[in-house]
Structure 1
Amino acid sequence: MLWWTWFVLQLLCSTVIRGLQHYQTAWGHYDVCKSQIYTEEGLAWDYMACQPEATDMTKYLRVTLDPPDITCGDPPEMYCALENPYMCNNECDAATEELAHPPKLMFDFEGRNPTTFWQSSSWKKYPKPLQVNITLSWNKSIELTDDIVLTFESGRPEQMVLEKSLDFGRTWTPYQFYATDCLDAFTMEPKTASELTQLTLLDIICTEDYSRGYVWKNDKTVRFEIKDRFALFAGPRLHNMASLYGQLDTTKKLRDFFTITDLRIKLLKPATGATMVDENNLSRYFYAISDVKVQGRCKCNLHANSCVFDKGKLGCECEHNTTGPDCSRCKKHYHGRAWSVGSYLPIPKGTANICIPSMNGPVPRVCDNAMLRCQNGGTCHHHQRCHCAPGFTGVLCERARCQGPGECEDQRSGQPPLRRFFISHPLILTVAALSLPVVPVC
């Protein structure tokens, strides 16, 4: 029997360790908006900051090109290889599915053979510039969580700008410049993301790393490094997310830097592979993109843990008595205090900053509706108002009423009765102890 007991203890120990590891991971992602807890008054809601999981955002975008007729194939056209101007056996024909290269092929499943890609018309009007704007629109605020990666089937552009918009394309600001010669193209000193610091993270730089011709597969990509910027606060392996969350919480410019409603890829000069353009073989010069990666999540101001795509639109499924596409306002009758974005702090649950019922105007159903219940012994009257026990006040009887000496200890200490219950209750203390990142000795 001893061996059986030892086996059960080992299994229990490993289960607890895995559970604690999952707990830290789950809370670190802020994927739960509320949970039910037991208090002296019975079941109540404990609210937390929350956000949707990161996902591939290219599934939800709308793409537009400027000029709109820049895609190859109308009329059909033959293309030559950049490396060999005499190998001209690639045809683009918009009327034939196998030979067409429409914009949607920038976002389809990768790994097909042959590779699918969007392709522009060639530089037939040289020396007039061959320029294309590719605009990606979500009609929704998006928070970027990983690098933006463009994979080119042609040579990478010799000059390019990545721009962002925060107001649905009305105004644009640069994210990054790309060129084979930054000084010549944009009068900017070349720089890389690895040279940025916490103080210069928001600087707009020009990099020469992604504008050279390619030989290997990895040399086809152009990146905008999000994770390198995260790492300036969270460490090289993003192990200290608490530090990053703290910065995002307190610095609006930093939050806005990683937030977009639209992206614009401005292709200014195609790869030429040489210092001079070969005017006798202009079919060598064009743009072709096989893949675009944009990883992110819906911006819900930490008031929703899911985002739905319905009738062609993205929208947050708001919690905390908030509403709107980004959960950016309080519901009707819930303006008891000004709306506020949720907070990542304190780690790991954050602060929900829920909207509370209004004190004036039509009386909402505020109690006994499984969302809000009377606290501190208060009773619900007609599903509308809380009748508070002596010594308490507020819409939900959440505040101690000062009636004389010694009656306001809770307010002076900053610990409401519910918090005193959490601090003193032995079951809560036991759960809190299990939540500490201490590995059990088994």
Structure 2
Amino acid sequence: MVPAPRTSAQEVPDMMPLPGCSGGNCHPPTGNLVIGRGQSLRTSSTCGLHGPELYCVVTKLQDSQNCCFCDSRDGKSHGIENVVSRSDPDGKKTWWQAESGVENVSIQLDLEGAFYFTHLIMTFKTFRPAALLLERSVDHGHSWHVFRYFAHNCSDLFPGIPPGPGRRVSDLVCDQRYSDIEPATEGEVIFQVLDPAFLAENTTNTEIQELLHVTNLRVNFSKLHTLGDRPLGGLKGHPFYYYALYELVIGGSCLCHGHASECRPAPGSPPSVEGMVHGHCVCRHHTGLYQDRPWQAAEPGYPHACQECECHGHARSCHFDMALYLASGNVSGGVCNACQHNTAGRHCELCQPFFHRDPLEDPRSLHSCKPCDCDPVGALEGGLCDAYTDATRGLLSGQCRCKVHVWGQRCDSCRPGHYGLSLTQSEGCQPCRCDARGRVPGTRACDPSSGACHCKRFVSGRDCSRCLPEFWGLSGDSLGCRPCDCDFGGAYSNRCSAGQGLCLCRPHLHGRRCQELQSGYFCATLDQATAEAEHGHSLRPADPRLPVSVQKGQEEIKAHTLGGSDFVRVVDGAGLSLLAPTVPRALDYDIILRYETQVPEVWQALVRVRAQSQPRSTRCAHPLPSEQLFQVTLTHVVLLPRVGELPGLRSVDPGAPGRLQELHEVGCLEAARVSPPQSMPEACARLSCSISALLHGGGLACECHLQGSLSTECAPLGGQCPCRPNIMGRTCDRCLPGTFGLGPTGCRGEPSGPVGVGSGTSMSSLYVA
């Protein structure tokens, strides 16, 4: 291949129009964009940055060589800033050099704005690269497009890229003219955006204008030339092979669209130096926001200035779009550039993604677009929200895109019926698991954080599927469950089964509430613990068990005599010893003596209560000394329990006040005290049976006498068995006085009537053991 002729930067034809204004069309001068922008140049490789690095210089491809060390740690040796063009004749004595043996190296120029790029010239100190490519960006490096490929063998190094020249100015081709190994030094790579071959093309063509437009340029070196000694392990560290560049010229001008002949330093641009191409157009016909009409060349007397673009105060410039202009009926073609303040759209009337229009702010306000405030746990699409409100499309400004079971503008709440907002849940929240029978209707089904359901009054459990203790029958009722209402005596407690409400009954009681007796069992009356006087023993005045002798004058007192089946006649000065009835429970009892007087005078009795020996494990609440005497007006003995001390009737027990009040209202306790004993009021039966179950630990067996009773069943309250003729006793086990021979037909004989009655005032002493 014939080597390309040596061309200097000054000899490159400039296809741009001459600077200045001519015929109403203005153009700024072209210069080297690198000048003054050394700090905007960067490279991926520089020798000696980490310490001295050996390199050798091969001269004219001969064996002679000169080896040196590159040390760029002081920043003044072979950094990329050395490639900036200088007017000093000694400028070539400095150069940029890459690390030895590194083939993939890039050099990039970042411009502070948009510029026209016309040509590039690179002058190398070593061999030119065997392959490289030139890229451009028009969006400050966000995307890149290849300008041209360069290689000494395009088909091998860039397969699929046709060799140049192209047929059109925009064709992407591979140029083989600038990649030979010779010359070993001072070789150049030259690129012109507008090749002279396309002089006939209109330089105002949109396609050409786009090719000239750049914000960044990048040169990528991809292959080193070698002298045929490429090692198997690669070239890294090889001192003979490396890229070294004397000078880089990037020709161009500021981008003014034909309406400015000069440019000034743009805000934020590098400090100005002599020969620097500035990027801020000093517009004559068009200023930044006046691009709403199609551009026309300025004519004498007709500058054809554009109308202002509507950018709502969020852009400093705009550009013209002919398609939009025609679509609008030749009214408006302006498109705002680089909308600021998080705005977007042709007129900066929209908000950028992840921002939304604040309906309370003026569209021209700097704060009209607010950031989306989405909860990352419940939102989708990375926190994207509706940019504006449109009722017809179901859009609400600021509304985040929520997961399936999440709602709220921020997607920070679970939908009704769901809970537990979590990143691990693909649908955001999980459904509440509440029993519809137990949860409160018309409210959130469950707590949105914990998932605990809102239960009805008598319902419990995380899912409202269980009744509270002492309740049963979960249902859709307003309270959810019904009270167990177990009988306070018939049941062990007020707890029942959740499904059927069955209480745990004491022995021989049944029914849901434990209020029914089993066959053959009964409940004791309150006065069941009774000592019958006829079973007592006589006490003589000299009896040592009666320490107090009561006499009337100097007369001797006769002993007592039995007076029939129900009464014992005790004459004045006599005494009676009774065995106290067995009580079923350690409790305080009231001693009730039932009597009938023979004459209308006051009876006075001395009662002596002897405390029997008790097991060591028991305690008596009120021990009485054997000498203590009680003086009361009385006859017949009953031990009546103080029910207020029983479970379920104590003041601290639930329901106790109502039960005690009922006991007093129907006269249960008073009925048990009177003489002669009255029949138990019917309303007392239920409460008496409950108290009996507490005292006796359940139902009592009837134990009806097999011969003396007509049945094995007895009265539910009191336990009286149905007796055959002339038979008496609760179990029908005794003949009436005057009869005998208890058998299957009853007792034989005639019952005797009441015995004689004594006379005079009686002072009786009863000894209760």
Counterpart of 1:319, as a letter, is: R
Counterpart of 1:206, as a letter, is: C
| Other-structure match for 1:196 | 166
Tell me how far apart the structure 1 counterparts of residues 83 and 113 of structure 2 sit (CA, whole Å): 21
Structure 1, unpaired ranges of 5+: 1-27, 34-46, 124-128, 235-243, 324-328, 331-336, 362-442
Structure 1 residues 312 and 262: alpha-carbon distance in aligned structure 2, compared to 1, 3 A threshold: same
| Other-structure match for 2:99 | 121
Tell me how far apart the structure 2 counterparts of residues 351 and 343 of structure 1 sit (CA, whole Å): 9
1:75 aligns with 2:23: no
Tell me how far apart the structure 2 counterparts of residues 203 and 114 of structure 1 sit (CA, whole Å): 34
Counterpart of 1:151, as a letter, is: T
Structure 1 residues 271 and 91: alpha-carbon distance in aligned structure 2, compared to 1, 3 A threshold: same
Q: Please say if residues 82 and 247 of structure 2, whose CA atoms lie closer than 8 Å, have aligned partners that are also in contact.
A: yes
Tell me how far apart the structure 1 counterparts of residues 163 and 229 of structure 2 sit (CA, whole Å): 22
| Other-structure match for 1:151 | 123
Structure 1 residues 113 and 142: alpha-carbon distance in aligned structure 2, compared to 1, 3 A threshold: closer
Tell me the alpha carbon deviations over residues 112-171 of structure 1, each in whole angstroms, 9 at most, x when there is no partner.
176211011112xxxxx63112111212221134x3111111111111111011111111
Counterpart of 1:105, as a letter, is: N
- Stretch of structure 1 that moved more, 151-160 or 58-67: 58-67
| Other-structure match for 1:211 | 179
Structure 1 residues 191 and 352: alpha-carbon distance in aligned structure 2, compared to 1, 3 A threshold: farther
| Other-structure match for 1:289 | 245
What is the deviation of 1:286? 1.0
Counterpart of 2:166, as a letter, is: L
Tell me how far apart the structure 2 counterparts of residues 357 and 152 of structure 1 sit (CA, whole Å): 48
Q: Please say if residues 293 and 307 of structure 2, whose CA atoms lie closer than 8 Å, have aligned partners that are also in contact.
A: no
1:338 aligns with 2:311: no
| Other-structure match for 2:740 | none
**Number of matched pairs:** 281
Q: Please say if residues 142 and 260 of structure 1, whose CA atoms lie closer than 8 Å, have aligned partners that are also in contact.
A: yes
Q: 1:172 aligns with which of 135, 144, 152?
A: 144
Q: Percent identity?
A: 22
Structure 1 residues 292 and 341: alpha-carbon distance in aligned structure 2, compared to 1, 3 A threshold: farther
Q: Quick check: which one's helix share is greater?
A: 1
What is the deviation of 1:54? 1.4
SS at match of 2:210: helix
Q: 1:32 aligns with which of 21, 29, 45?
A: 21
What is the deviation of 1:315? 1.2
Higher relative contact order (CA 8 A, sep 6+): 1
| Other-structure match for 1:369 | none
Tell me how far apart the structure 1 counterparts of residues 126 and 50 of structure 2 sit (CA, whole Å): 19
| Other-structure match for 2:83 | 106
Q: 2:193 aligns with which of 201, 226, 229?
A: 226
Structure 1 residues 119 and 342: alpha-carbon distance in aligned structure 2, compared to 1, 3 A threshold: farther
What is the deviation of 1:319? 2.3
Q: Please say if residues 126 and 184 of structure 2, whose CA atoms lie closer than 8 Å, have aligned partners that are also in contact.
A: no
Structure 1 residues 300 and 264: alpha-carbon distance in aligned structure 2, compared to 1, 3 A threshold: same
SS at match of 2:228: coil
Tell me the alpha carbon deviations over residues 315-335 of structure 1, each in whole angstroms, 9 at most, x when there is no partner.
112222512xxxxx22xxxxx
Tell me how far apart the structure 1 counterparts of residues 42 and 19 of structure 2 sit (CA, whole Å): 37
What is the deviation of 1:230? 4.2
SS at match of 1:163: strand
Q: Please say if residues 303 and 352 of structure 1, whose CA atoms lie closer than 8 Å, have aligned partners that are also in contact.
A: no
SS at match of 1:183: helix
SS at match of 2:203: helix
Tell me how far apart the structure 2 counterparts of residues 92 and 271 of structure 1 sit (CA, whole Å): 20
Structure 1 residues 138 and 248: alpha-carbon distance in aligned structure 2, compared to 1, 3 A threshold: same
Counterpart of 2:188, as a letter, is: T
Counterpart of 1:196, as a letter, is: G
Whichever of the two has the greater Rg, that structure is 2
What is the deviation of 1:296? 1.5
Tell me how far apart the structure 2 counterparts of residues 118 and 231 of structure 1 sit (CA, whole Å): 33
Normalised by the length of structure 2, the TM-score is 0.33
Structure 1 residues 292 and 114: alpha-carbon distance in aligned structure 2, compared to 1, 3 A threshold: closer
Structure 1 residues 188 and 304: alpha-carbon distance in aligned structure 2, compared to 1, 3 A threshold: same
SS at match of 2:27: coil
1:319 aligns with 2:319: no
Tell me how far apart the structure 2 counterparts of residues 30 and 225 of structure 1 sit (CA, whole Å): 18
Normalised by the length of structure 1, the TM-score is 0.56
Aligned counterparts, 1:4-23, within 5 A: none
What is the deviation of 1:225? 2.7
Tell me how far apart the structure 1 counterparts of residues 31 and 91 of structure 2 sit (CA, whole Å): 25
Q: Please say if residues 164 and 175 of structure 1, whose CA atoms lie closer than 8 Å, have aligned partners that are also in contact.
A: yes
SS at match of 2:40: strand
Tell me the alpha carbon deviations over residues 264-291 of structure 1, each in whole angstroms, 9 at most, x when there is no partner.
0011122213373486981111111111
| Other-structure match for 1:15 | none
Aligned CA RMSD, in angstroms, stands at: 3.5
Counterpart of 1:58, as a letter, is: V
Tell me the alpha carbon deviations over residues 184-237 of structure 1, each in whole angstroms, 9 at most, x when there is no partner.
111046633xx333xx2211111221111123766x10111335x244224xxx
Structure 1 residues 114 and 30: alpha-carbon distance in aligned structure 2, compared to 1, 3 A threshold: closer
SS at match of 1:140: strand
Q: Please say if residues 104 and 223 of structure 2, whose CA atoms lie closer than 8 Å, have aligned partners that are also in contact.
A: yes
